[in-house]
Amino acid sequence: MAIAYPHFIGSENASMDTGFPSLSLPTPLSPPVILTQDELKKIAAYKAVEFVESGMVLGLGTGSTAKHAVDRIGELLRQGTLKNIVGIPTSKKTHEQAVSLGIPLSDLNEHPVVDLAIDGADEVDPDLNLVKGRGGSLLREKMVEGACKKFVVIVDESKLVNYLGGSGLAMPVEIIPFCWKFTAKRLQDLFEDAGCSAELRIENGEPFVTDNGNYIVNLFFKRDIGDLKAASDAILRIAGVVEHGMFLDMATTVIVAGELGITVKNKH
């Protein structure tokens, strides 16, 4: 989706009957700049990289938004602006990208505490809870980002929702392949009151397989699922479930790129 970035000026007029000062209709100084959704993601990603300092251990996210951040980190390393960075990738795809950019890599075994992680999200609610993992990397993302001192999330404004599941798009759950239909049915029944439907993720006509050799079941909700912590615990109690895509109380900062520019939301 393309979004216009108009450049406006406003001037105060005399107060109207309400007694409040009013602004004149905005006057364009130049034609609106049209930014695509990907360009908005890039703006947010570059802003997030401003949090990175030399000597940090970084969690490197996965997905179209996080890719821009990883590219930027590689660029700053080549320029010498950043030094002594160690990256911990959250997927094989990000690992390959980081290697191609010359970013030194390690893992949680060697660096169990991560200074900062930067990643995208599929949904962000008003309390900065997230849905992540529609790219299929939710388990490794949650392991790395759960070990972070700071977790900066980068999104465009289309990802903001009133409640998790509110976009009507998938909330992914990683499950083992063994008897996956049985597990998917249990997940669907768990959220029957929210009008849940559970679907196996298919790619190129075959079940999508994660980096960990597991399947993904996508949950779709028609209504709010309510208490997120209770929902999380209930999902994880189902045998056959590995992990789910709700990232609760993990983000410390969310950077949102929208038609009015960049908004930075911090966890209170």
**For residue 216, which of 179, 247, 242 has the smallest C-alpha distance?**
242
CA distance 107 to 206: 30
Active site residues: 141
Least confident span in 10-19, 61-70, 81-90, 160-169: 10-19
186 and 100 share one domain: no
For residue range 189-211, list pLDDT tens digits in order: 999 999 999 999 999 999 999 99
pLDDT of residue 141: 97
pLDDT of residue 2: 41
Domain that holds residue 232: 171-244
70 and 195 share one domain: no
Tokens found for residue 213: 């050799």
- Residue 166 lies inside a defined structural domain of this protein: no
Angle between helices 92-101 and 64-79 (to 10 degrees): 20
Contacts of 10 (CB under 8 A, 6+ apart): 23, 24, 26
Question: Which residue in the block uniquely carries the two structure tokens 């030399």?
Answer: 54
Structure confidence at residue 16 as a pLDDT band (50, 70, 90): very low
DSSP reduced 3-state for 195: coil
Please provide the average confidence, as pLDDT, over all residues in the chain: 89
pLDDT of residue 268: 78
pLDDT of residue 66: 94
Pair type for strands 202-203 and 241-244: unpaired
For residue range 51-109, list pLDDT tens digits in order: 999 999 999 999 999 999 999 999 999 999 999 999 999 999 999 999 999 999 999 99
Residue 111 has pLDDT above 70, yes or no: yes
CATH number at residue 198: 3.30.70.260
15 and 109 share one domain: yes
235 and 253 share one domain: no
- Residue 108 lies inside a defined structural domain of this protein: yes
Tokens found for residue 101: 């950019």
DSSP reduced 3-state for 150: strand
The answer to whether 249 and 223 have CB atoms below 8 angstroms apart is no
The answer to whether 81 and 141 have CB atoms below 8 angstroms apart is no
177 and 153 share one domain: no
The number of folded domains in the chain is 2
pLDDT of residue 37: 82
CA atoms within 13 A on the CB side of 113: 2
Structure confidence at residue 10 as a pLDDT band (50, 70, 90): very low
Residue 4 has pLDDT above 50, yes or no: no
90 and 144 share one domain: yes
The answer to whether 122 and 159 have CB atoms below 8 angstroms apart is yes
DSSP reduced 3-state for 214: coil
